[in-house]
Chains A and B, each alone.
Chain A
Amino acid sequence: MAEFLIETIGLPAWLAWTCVAGLSAVLILNVIAGGALIFIWAERKIAARIQDRLGPTRTGGRFGWLQSLADGIKLLAKEDLMPEGADALLFRLAPYVSFCASFCAFIALPFAFDTVGQRLNVGVFFVVAILGLEVFGVILAGYASASKWSLFGAMREAAQVVSYEVPLGMCVVVPVMLAGSMDLVTIGEKQAGWAMNWFIFHDPFTFIIFWVYCTCALASVNRAPFDLAEAESELVAGFHTEYSGLRWSFFFMAEYGSMFLVSALAAILFLGGWNGPVPVSKLLGLSDGVAVTDPFALRIVGCMNLFLKATAGVLLMMWIRWTLPRLRIDQVMTTCLKYCTPIAAAMFLGVMLWQLFLPGGLVAGSFRAAAGVREGWLEQSYRKQSAEEESLSVKTLSRHVFEVSR
């Protein structure tokens, strides 16, 4: 893209890169904001169906699909209130901190094999670390609101998120170990081929640890039954009790963004990422077994795969939310420290031993051959990318400048 801008249109390199970076940022932002709109609508419909009612039916046609947009406009028009005793700066800052954290994590999230904002070789860690930053917004909101309920919500969130980062980290490390890389793209590519290549089916331990991951992910994005930070029956509305209008909707968008993010992460780490259960690309001739012949179509198919899987994850979260009661704070901690962490540790050990003695996995590496081809191509292209400065990496960017200025 940048190449195209430089060579065909004749923009200077730095402007071209800026344009491309801006475009990517806007795209990701749209994924979050647009996704949030759709997910809020979906949540309403799903909740309504679960509860034996209809949900939105009028706004925007038969299914009320414009309801969340209408609500968005309403929220924009609402008065922005701030409590008198609030710490004005932190109060204003908090929603953006939350949202930015959610947004930043998407930078390293690959949507298809090479559709990624910034391919980082520590991608997994980066995503998990940034996701953890979201809690700062919540704590600041809780502290700055000058309301005791907000403070309670913030404290709960802090305790919960910090605790769940431990088992979550362990769960995430398992696919890293299997793929031998912390690069999300590599991890995804290792699972190409038939569904049996997905890490969730790699061995019984990974199957179990997938569900541990689901639990921890649910807890770390504060969804029911772990939504203690905003437990409406106990803490009024928790950390966002005092928020209204646009600021409040930023928290909401951050929540849905994170939900999508952890679901997408689950898809990439365990469910084959952008690879479908059947190696369609090969069957359709998008890659002829030797090289990728049509990367564009492959990208589209990959993105759709990942979106489908991540959406399924989000829908699962909604289903859980409208079915289960909420846990108590000590039970949440018990779940983390007494169940998730030891199970994750044991499964980690199990996977390690399995790798040691049965390295191929249950299904022998025959299916992996297909993956190997594309992987090879990808590695090649990655190298090429860095050589030809195709990526958005700050590093390569600057290197370009070094060369230009010299």
Chain B
Amino acid sequence: MSQILDEDQRIIEFDVRTDEMLVNMGPQHPSTHGVLRLVLRTDGEIVSEMEPHIGYLHRCAEKIGENLTARQWIPYTDRMDYLAAMNMNLGWSLAVEKLLRYQVSEKARHLRVLIVELNRIASHLVGMGAYGLDLGTFSPFLYAFREREKILDLFEEVCGARLTYSYITVGGMTADLPPGWLQRCEAFLDQFEPIIQEYHALLTTNAIFVKRTAKIGVLSPEMAIDYGCTGPVLRGSGVDIDLRRDGESIYTAMHDGYAFEVAVMKDGHYPRDHKYPAVPRDAILGDCWHRFFVRMLEVVQSMDLVRQAMDRYSQCKGALGEPLKLAEKLPAGDTYLETECPKGQMGFYLVTDGTSIPWRVRARSSSFSNLAVSPELCRGCLIADVPAIVGSLDVVMGEIDR
């Protein structure tokens, strides 16, 4: 019995041994989500070692930040997690506001929640679609993009951009919502809600999908915390942390009065999982399936938050408030703020020396830490599992390489 316990079930060894092979997955590989390069050492189909090589998309954003004012740097945050640029804008704006001890107007607060949660849906849709692609099914990808396009249309109305918005800015927003936007957003949510079942049918409950993801890349909560994994990756391992509820006061204050349940498995149940497919028998907490499912639940959660935010926003009277000056003087000091972005906790660290230009800016990216755990998860898996595992971490290279 003890012998059985000693065996690592994940690592399979054969009597038939062949020469080890070193293969390069990426940086131009179809399933590495951008310019990620994975070096695999394989014995046949089994990956004995995997090492990510990053930096192909390094654009020196932090160095550039030392030469721009805080508001000028916002477009650079867009280009970090370019799939959730609104969240990036928010993270940086909040960090600067925290240093300035500035509070945005009530209306701007609700508008921020609205926009950010909408962007979270868009980001998770890409994550979901691309994950299907990683597992070899193409159709869900286009289904996801079809809906994402509608969100991008809404964003385009708001700020004129479809990918790099720079909409949320230090001290508020660059503009208020155009007339009739709320109705269009409402219409989108109404038609989007039933479609989620479609995704569950195509992916979440699909037998092959479950076979490909269940018990693959199991990340224990200890390991997840140890590696600094955050976001859906951490919650997929069953750790109940969501900065919207547990974060710093300036961030949680933004969500004051909002009702939401953190998408994490508690006592064998996900919040309102009665509405959604049951957890398959094969899946164990912390595997790829759970990470994927947490994202799917967060889409529903975000839809709910968007509806609440729309309510509150429309009830707010008065002006949105002007954003701060482009070259607002920053008090000397330093501050660090993490926000809950779709990919995980994105932290911005800001050091100032009393001028309007920061002395040092630092972006702590969630994908960076999430990806760092992938060599551990991929040890002993099959080649086909590598895209499945890396895809389930849902990394964005723009954020990792900055």
Contacts and interface: CB of A to CB of B under 8 A. Distances in A.
A155 B212 CA distance: 20
* Residue from B136, B138, B383 whose CB has the most chain A CB atoms within 10 Å: B136
B137 interface: yes
Contact of B132 (A149, A325, A329): A325
Interface in A347-395: none
Interface string B324-364: 00000000000000000000000000000000000000000
Interface stretch (A45-53, A88-96, A108-116): A45-53
A79 interface: no
Contacts of A73: none
A328 B133 contact: no
Contacts of B64: none
B383 A152 contact: yes
A401 interface: no
B208 A225 contact: yes
Given A152-B45, A233-B30, A322 B386 contact: no
A53 to B, nearest CB: 7
B258 interface: no
A330 B12 CA distance: 12
B209 interface: yes
Interface string A306-340: 00000000000000001111111111000000000
A231 B132 CA distance: 13
B139 A323 contact: yes
B142 interface: yes
A326 B387 CA distance: 12
B146 interface: yes
B56 to A, nearest CB: 17
B212 A327 contact: yes
B278 interface: no
A232 interface: yes
B190 to A, nearest CB: 19
Interface in A187-238: 224-225, 227-228, 231-236
Interface in A135-161: 148-149, 152, 155-156
B382 to A, nearest CB: 6
B31 interface: yes
Contact of A148 (B21, B136, B208): B21
A266 B143 CA distance: 33
A227 B133 CA distance: 14
A233 B212 contact: no
A325 B136 contact: yes
A225 B143 contact: no
Contacts of B209: 325
A274 B137 CA distance: 34
Given A322-B138, A325-B135, A328-B385, A236 B208 contact: no
Contacts of B386: 234
Contacts of B136: 224-225, 227, 231-233, 325-326
Nearest to A48: B142
A176 B134 CA distance: 41
Contacts of A324: 137, 206, 208
Contacts of A329: 45, 382, 384
A155 B44 CA distance: 9
Interface in B5-61: 21, 23-24, 29-31, 44-45
Interface in A230-281: 231-236
A50 B142 CA distance: 10
Interface string B191-220: 000000000001100101101100000000
Contacts of B29: 236
Given A52-B143, A234-B31, A331-B211, A323 B383 contact: no
B30 A148 contact: no
Nearest to B143: A52
Nearest to A225: B208
Interface string A38-65: 0000000001001111000000000000
Interface in B167-203: 202-203
B307 to A, nearest CB: 26
A338 B260 CA distance: 46
A121 B30 CA distance: 47
A330 B46 CA distance: 11
Contacts of A227: 136
Contacts of A53: 142
Interface of B: 21, 23-24, 29-31, 44-45, 132-139, 142-143, 146, 202-203, 206, 208-209, 211-212, 382-387
Interface of A: 47, 50-53, 148-149, 152, 155-156, 224-225, 227-228, 231-236, 322-331
25 contacts: A47-B138, A47-B139, A51-B138, A53-B142, A149-B23, A155-B44, A231-B384, A232-B31, A232-B136, A233-B30, A233-B133, A233-B387, A234-B386, A234-B387, A322-B137, A324-B208, A325-B132, A325-B136, A325-B137, A325-B203, A326-B137, A326-B208, A327-B212, A328-B211, A331-B212
Nearest 7 interchain pairs by C-beta: A326-B136, A233-B31, A325-B135, A325-B137, A51-B142, A328-B384, A148-B23
Given A52-B146, A152-B23, 14 more contacts: A51-B142, A51-B143, A148-B21, A148-B23, A231-B136, A233-B134, A233-B135, A233-B136, A322-B139, A323-B137, A324-B137, A326-B384, A327-B212, A331-B208
